[in-house]
Amino acid sequence: MGTINIYSSDGSNKAGLIYDGSGDITVDTEHLANTSSNVQAQIDTKAPINNAQFTGNVGIGVSSPAQRLNINGRFQIDAGWEIKLQNAAQNGFAAIQNAGAGTNTDLGFSTGGSERMRIDSAGRVTMPYQPAFVATTVSTSTLPNNADVIFNSTVTNRGSIYNTSNGRFTAPVAGLYAIGAHIRVASTTNSITYHRLSLRKNGAYVQYSRGRLEGRNNGDYSYIANYIIIELAVNDYISTQVETGAGTTLQINSANESAFYGHLVG
């Protein structure tokens, strides 16, 4: 065991490096907190200290550190290592790391043990867990009047947020969402038909768009579309409805000509 003491100019205060005989060196910072002592400690980074314990603020290039670690200058973390941000319960963490391979300098952000976002070396941002869906129809069917339209197939359903059984998109997290729908509708009569496509939040109107079929021939068709950016709370749901005049019916066409879609904006 041994101790190296660093004294102030008047000899009244000191700091020290204490070797405990087991391979660890502890830095005694008791007097470093006393800024009136004019004590400055410099540790040569060429002689690494393993498992050092500090009881006060540590400064690198700073004589009076204001935080637990106060750095004046750049610091480097080598490839394969990361900055971990521990949670309050100390049973999990978020991490930031240089996630690129080879000469790439991708920046990765992880939570819950998985990478959730990456900024690649060209500045492109990818978020593989960002909620998004596109739902379509796979067959021609008669549209129920004033009832939810069921898009019974999905092209994209990241996070399983769209239900093909009830036609609802359910928000998995509170935030701002972009939601839209477009439908090709066909007339089953030879009369003029007005219709509208509405987006509904938890069953209540949000907004609607209106269309018209001249009805010159049975089978005439038109497209109607609706789009909105809306704030949703967790478990709020959005559905679509098509409404038409009494005594008339419409068909939704197949071949993926109609769709319901949305994604989390942020």
Mean pLDDT of 188-209: 82
Residue 173 binned pLDDT confidence (cut-offs 50, 70, 90): very high
Residue 101 binned pLDDT confidence (cut-offs 50, 70, 90): confident
**How far apart are the C-alpha atoms of 188 and 251, rounded to whole Å?**
7
244 and 173 in a common domain = yes
Residue 40 binned pLDDT confidence (cut-offs 50, 70, 90): very low
Segments forming the whole domain that contains residue 174: 132-264
Residue 186 above 90 pLDDT? Answer: no
Say how many C-beta atoms besides its own lie within 10 A of residue 138's C-beta: 11
244: left (phi over 0), alpha (psi -120 to 50) or beta: beta
194 and 97 in a common domain = no
Q: Sign of the CA dihedral 44, 50, 54, 59? A: positive
For residues 69 and 58, is the Cβ–Cβ distance under 8 A? yes
CATH of the domain at 256: 2.60.120.40
163 and 192 in a common domain = yes
Residue 214 binned pLDDT confidence (cut-offs 50, 70, 90): low
| Single residue among 73, 90, 120 that ends a domain in this structure | 73
161 and 81 in a common domain = no
41 and 20 in a common domain = yes
Residue 11 above 70 pLDDT? Answer: no
Q: How many structural domains is the chain composed of?
A: 3
% of the chain residues with pLDDT over 70: 70
235 and 137 in a common domain = yes
143 and 125 in a common domain = no
Query: Does the predicted TM-score (pTM) go above 0.85?
Result: no
37 and 111 in a common domain = no
236 and 153 in a common domain = yes
87 and 66 in a common domain = no
110 and 16 in a common domain = no
170 and 230 in a common domain = yes
| Single residue among 32, 51, 73 that ends a domain in this structure | 73
| Single residue among 58, 73, 88 that ends a domain in this structure | 73
Residue 168 binned pLDDT confidence (cut-offs 50, 70, 90): very high
